[in-house]
Amino acid sequence: MEHRTLIVAANGRVASRVAARLAAAGDPPDVLVRDAAKAQRVLVDEHGRPAYRDLFVGELANDETMRRAMSRAAVGFLAVGSSPAQADLERQVIDAARQASLGHLVKLSAALAAHDAVSSVLRVHAEIEDYLAESQIPHTLISPTSFMDLVLVGAAFIREKGRWTGTAPDGVNALIDSEDVVDAVVQVLRDPAQRGGTHLLTGPDALSWPDVARAISAVTGRTIVYDAVSTRERRHQLENAGLPAWRIDLLLGIDELNRHSVYRTPNDSVRQLTGHPPRGIEDFLRRHFAVLAPPEVPPSR
């Protein structure tokens, strides 16, 4: 059997960075994408060279292309974006992995996925995790808390108005920098000793959204106000903004994770797995300073 790594849906935010890290380490993965033109933009290094070995173009389906890609791989990585189709798509990939006798599948899930969770994201992942367990495919779950990157969803409003709206003024979340998720996935893909079971990954600090607003204020040197509104009012705002119902449920569900402090407890998993401490919120905000601060504001030191 070849020792190739296959990244499925490799154009994704997490997956493309995993591919880049593996390529930079001299071990480029095979990649499967649905959009070859996007791969030419996101799956290249700074010199424009491909960050992959072989490129497969196909859907997230149990089809010939998927099975051919898997038949060459010893391990696969699966990270599918949220949508109403997510569970079905991941089930198709799991079916293909079983038919192709894939040796190991690493799946990006979410911490504390459960059928009765307060967030739709966790309920969807619980469904997929069950399916994966029933498939008997050897697998590893990468299960992070909410990403710090969620701040960027409201970045334009924060930059323009100095305000940020949500429904969770109370409650905390040990938010994780998605860079740490990428580092953890790379470790698991490169080191078979790290595979199996669930890696529940957290950031270093349990933060409320107003804590994050204060951190943005400190980094940008401008007061950012967290406007707390009721869930009903927020739903109304998001409907008026034209968001589809599933995305509104997803965003409100993420606030529910904070309101219930579901991710209240930071752990040491990132350090144990990657050898470095988890990145903190200030580090994250400094790296994304340009999208959060008005153009004239220099970064605070």
Selected binder of ligand NAP within 146, 187, 202, 274 (CB under 6 A): 146
Nearer to ligand NAP, 24 or 153 (CB): 153
Selected binder of ligand NAP within 74, 118, 150, 248 (CB under 6 A): 150
Burial of 173 (0-12, 13-18, 19+ CB in 10 A): buried
Nearer to ligand NAP, 108 or 270 (CB): 108
Determine, following the binding rule CB under 6 A, whether residue 119 of this chain makes contact with ligand NAP.
no
Distances (CA, A) of 131 to 51, 94, 145: 31, 8, 21
Give the tokens for residue 226.
């967290």
> C-beta of 253: minimal distance to ligand NAP in Å?
11
Selected binder of ligand NAP within 29, 144, 171, 203 (CB under 6 A): 144
Query: Which of 73-81, 182-190, 219-227, 288-296 is the region at the interface with ligand NAP (rule: CB under 6 A)?
Result: 73-81
> C-beta of 294: minimal distance to ligand NAP in Å?
26
Tell me the DSSP string of 60-84.
Answer: SSSSHHHHHHHHTEEEEEE----ST
Question: What does the per-residue mask of binding to ligand NAP show for 19-48, with x meaning CB under 6 A?
Answer: ---------------xx--x----------
**How far apart are the C-alpha atoms of 79 and 143, rounded to whole Å?**
11
Query: What count of residues does the chain have?
Result: 301
The residues that touch ligand NAP, with contacts defined as CB under 6 A, are 9, 11-15, 34-35, 38, 60, 79-83, 85, 89, 108, 110, 121, 144, 146-147, 150
